[in-house]
Amino acid sequence: MKTEERTQLQAAITELRDEIEQHDYEYYVCSEPTVSDGEYDEKMRRLIALEKEHPEFYDPHSPTQRVGSDLSGNFRQAAHAFPMLSLGNIYTEAEVREFMEKDDCVLVEPKYDGISISLTYVDGRLTQALTRGDGETGEDVTANVRTVRTIPLRLWGTPPQTVEVRGEIVMPWKEFRRLNRERERLGEQPFANPRNAASGTIKQKSPRTASHRKLDAYIYQVTGEGLPPTHSGRISEAAKWGLRTAEPIPCHNTGDVLKAINRWDAIRKDYAVPTDGVVIKIDSLARQEQLGATGKTPRWAVAYKFQSEQAETRLLSVSYQVGRTGAVTPVANLEPVRLSGTVVRRATLYNADTIGKLDLHAGDRVYIEKGGEIIPKITGVDRDARPAGAEAVVFPLRCPDCGTPLVRPDGESTHYCPNAAGCPGQVKARIEHFASREAMNINIGPETINDLFNAGYATDAADLYDLPVACLRRMDGWGENNTRNLRDSLAASCRLPFERVLYALGVRYLGKTAAKRLAATFLSIDSLVGASFASLTSVDDIGERIAQSILDYFADEENRRLIERLRSAGLQFTAEEKEPADERSEALAGLTFVISGVFALHSRDEYRLMIERAGAKVSSSVSSRTDYILAGDNMGPSKLEKARNLGVRIISETDFLKMTGGEGYEQSV
């Protein structure tokens, strides 16, 4: 292999690893996935194949070498009695046959789509409930799990003195739809799918909230002394104790397994809870133990994943939407077709690369699926049905709203219109974002914003606070009630906290969580405007891309002018400081710290403030200038290795609190 090809291949593998790690964070930690399971699995399969073909690029920290983590740092952590591994995925009949070569006595169970849970019962009483976490350590969510009605607090009969059962907590479809209707009524973002709803619920700080959402649970594994030597026997025992169990179908050959798969695939559309496949597992516990596991998956069980429900329809046209950041997104306009219980008329095409890969032509018969059971997307084209002479869909070279030549930054798949100030689509989209419920919650819709923009009354968000009453009365359908509601919501927006205002500005890549962290760290817009690249990247969740975007935003004179107008309108550009400034000291003056891991006594942001108030600096990366690493549980392995190589001292929470005399440290006696 030539040096250039080798470099390109290594870069492709590294990029794929980084992409999967980002999706892992969004899925497990944030419970907000941005790609469907199928897309994620395809990326993982591609990475596994590349690493298998090129072992010279082996990396022990690759996503293929570990179990994904759902640790959020909001709950007490505890170790599992034995690893809680994830299952490997298969998709074809050939892979089923390959698995059946291991044993001819297997069980096929539905693969419930929720959050994995480990329950410990001592003397028949529920004592602990742990999430899967990273497979070795989980989060203690016992208080919330106790609200799940299908999980008994006391077992019936005579179970072993100590028994651990593992299963899946799920949100029934009926409850998922009810919850999303309620969230929309309250102006909250609806959950993307039942899995994320279940995960978000079980990690609520308030058990009362968890209780309000009617979760369900199914048990699929039982461990304890004196139990039957087969999985099916243990599941039968668990059912006698009052636990709701999975529904295993015994199979003795590949044909039986395929029939069971088809049976579950047929009934899952009408099933009360979400499933995304089946689990095939060997019944004999002795055989399971003999086969063992790899570092991340058991060899005695595998998940067969269902294909997403698909429909076929005709592509009518492709339109292009210009977002607030200038991103141009193609949208397919379709002949209406029913899919997963709803009528689909539009589907996302993501970007120019997607159009190119699909080789779309006008009038094509296309196949659509709902990614994550929610978002419609085109997955294929019936080229044999293509009309003669059909024109290819070509991504535009110029902005569809203002005609400015589009640009595509290196390393990105999205095209942007660079005419931020003069592009009507961007201007209106920025005002819509600013007024949205999650931002300033102003009582005005896209149609009215469009009318105000076209009439010259609203060319940026600050204009909303200067709208003359006369112009509103001339709007179609507007009367005194509309005008009063708008003015009331504008007044209420002036009382919203700094973090909401910061998010409402619409800085590219800056989401709600990152805006909240920046507001808590810098406390005012003036401090944030003066922040350096290094100080920005030292904040949790603020990577290099977000930091550079923030610097670029504040470097623009028009953006600074907008902020001053909004400040004059009365919006909050200062956060409440939780601790008085006079509590600063020079106890750690001149030192540089790196914070890594999950902490029990304080959050990472709290430790950052303690360090800065003691006169020290916080860095995001380990270097020869690092004096200490403040390490919690699950410290990043790359930082640990680099610290050891450089001889940087690693200290615990209690070590640090002893150094500073910070709250939470108790001297042992």
Task: Please count the structural domains in the chain.
Answer: 5
Structure confidence by residue, pLDDT tens digits, 520-553: 889 999 999 999 998 898 886 688 888 999 999 9
pLDDT of res. 33 = 59
Same domain, residue pair 480 and 526? yes
Closest CA to 27 of 70, 64, 62, 82: 70
Beta bridge partners of 275: 112
pLDDT of residue 371: 53
Give the residue among 131, 60, 472 at the shortest CA–CA distance from 296: 60
* Residues 247, 332 within the same domain: no
CATH of the domain at 466: 1.10.150.20
Contact (Cβ atoms closer than 8 angstroms) between residue 113 and residue 172 = no
**Cα separation of 29 and 217, whole Å?**
21
Residue 419 lies in a domain: no
Q: Residues near 613 by Cβ (< 8 Å), separated by ≥ 6?
A: 579, 583, 584, 585
Using alpha carbons, list the distances in angstroms from residue 474 to 41, 431, 456: 54, 20, 13
The reply to whether 573 falls in a domain is no
Lay out the sheet containing 617-619: strands in order across: 617-619, 592-596, 628-631, 649-651
Tokens of 416: 């942007």
Encoded tokens for 67 = 């179990």
List the catalytic residues: 111
Using DSSP's 3-state secondary structure scheme, residue 636 falls into: coil
- Kindly state whether residues 500 and 618 are assigned to the same domain: no
Contact 459, 450 (CB under 8 A): no
Alpha carbon distance 316, 400 (integer Å): 18
Last residue of a domain, one of 547, 568, 589: 568
User: Cβ(408)–Cβ(464) under 8 Å?
Assistant: no
Residue 616 forms part of a structural domain: yes
Report how far residue 132's alpha carbon sits from residue 87's, in angstroms, rounded to the nearest whole number. Answer: 12
Q: 118 and 263 share a domain?
A: yes
Q: Tell me the C-alpha distance between 279 and 86, whole Å.
A: 11
Measure the CA dihedral 30/34/36/42, to 10°.
Answer: -100
Helix, strand or coil, per DSSP, at residue 107? strand
CATH of the domain at 628: 3.40.50.10190
Whether residue 414 is contained in a domain is answered as no
Tell me, yes or no, whether 173 and 39 share the same domain.
no
Q: How many CA atoms lie within 13 Å of 172's alpha carbon, on the beta-carbon side?
A: 15
Task: Please check whether residues 12 and 153 belong to one and the same domain.
Answer: no
Q: Any bridge partners for residue 365, and if so which?
A: 314, 382
Collect the ranges in the chain with pLDDT lower than 50: 28-31, 66-73, 372-373, 579-582, 663-669
DSSP 574: B
Which CATH number belongs to the domain containing residue 339 in this structure? Answer: 2.40.50.140
Q: Are residues 131 and 233 in the same domain?
A: yes
Same domain, 110 and 203: yes
CATH number of the domain at 180, please.
Answer: 3.30.470.30
What's the token pair of residue 350? 């993501």
DSSP character string of 137-160: EEEB-HHHHTT-TTS-SB--S---
389 in the same domain as 457: no
**Three-class SS state of 131:** strand
Domain contains 271: yes
pLDDT for the residue numbered 477: 66
**Contact criterion met (CB below 8 Å) for 587 and 660:** yes
Q: Which domain holds residue 329?
A: 310-398
Based on the domain organization, do 235 and 374 belong to the same domain?
Answer: no
**413 vs 392: CA distance, rounded Å:** 20
Decide if 418 is inside a domain. Answer: no
Q: Are residues 519 and 595 in the same domain?
A: no
What does the alpha-carbon distance between residue 233 and residue 34 come to, in Å, rounded to a whole number? Answer: 40
Residue 46 · residue 16 · CB < 8 Å: yes
pLDDT of residue 57: 76
Assess if residue 407 is contained within a domain.
no
Q: What ranges make up the beta strands (E) of 193-326?
A: 216-224, 249-251, 275-282, 301-305, 310-322
Tell me: the pLDDT tens digits for 117-161?
Answer: 999 999 999 999 999 887 888 889 998 898 888 888 889 889 999
Residue 321 lies in a domain: yes
pLDDT at site 107:
96
Residues 316 and 300 in one domain: no
Cβ–Cβ < 8 Å for 110, 274:
no
